[in-house]
């Protein structure tokens, strides 16, 4: 079966711009989580959605937002980009959220 699909794979943006990343979960999975991965901080939780509702949110500024659609696809948005937002952004899906997550290939965001 198809895995978790993230688009785009790579992005280069300028400081101050905004960006939208997309994630299509495994068919039937209703829980979608987003993580930021950097060499210094490791994997850090951004937010988790289930049936279009945000159930958990990590300690990130309000510039980071997300949403989930009725077909479980999810998007995350980062506004007013900063150099420190350069990272690998990973989306992961799960049937319900308590049974482990399958990660997508990620979107590598570079802010210049």
- Which residues bind to other proteins, rule: CB under 8 A? 31, 33, 35, 42-45, 48, 50, 55-56, 58, 88, 90, 94, 97-106
List the Cα angle 68/73/79 in 5-degree steps.
Answer: 55
Nearer to other proteins, 43 or 80 (CB): 43
Nearer to other proteins, 13 or 108 (CB): 108
Q: Please give the Cα distance from 95 to 22 (Å, whole number).
A: 19
Q: Please give the Cα distance from 20 to 42 (Å, whole number).
A: 22
Q: Please give the Cα distance from 24 to 2 (Å, whole number).
A: 10
Q: Minimum distance between the CB of residue 15 and other proteins, rounded to whole angstroms? A: 26
Q: Minimum distance between the CB of residue 21 and other proteins, rounded to whole angstroms? A: 14
Nearer to other proteins, 5 or 79 (CB): 5
């Amino acid at each position: 079966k198809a895995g978790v699909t993230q688009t785009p794979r790579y992005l280069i943006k300028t400081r101050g711009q905004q960006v939208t990343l997309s994630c299509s979960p495994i068919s039937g999975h209703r829980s979608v989580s987003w993580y930021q991965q950097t060499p210094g901080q490791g994997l850090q939780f951004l937010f988790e959605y289930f049936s279009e509702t945000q159930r958990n949110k990590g300690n990130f500024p309000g510039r980071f937002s997300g949403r989930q659609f009725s077909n479980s696809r999810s998007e995350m948005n980062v506004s007013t980009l900063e150099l420190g937002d350069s990272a690998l952004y990973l989306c992961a899906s799960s049937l319900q959220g308590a049974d482990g997550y399958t990660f997508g290939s990620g979107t590598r965001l570079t802010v210049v």
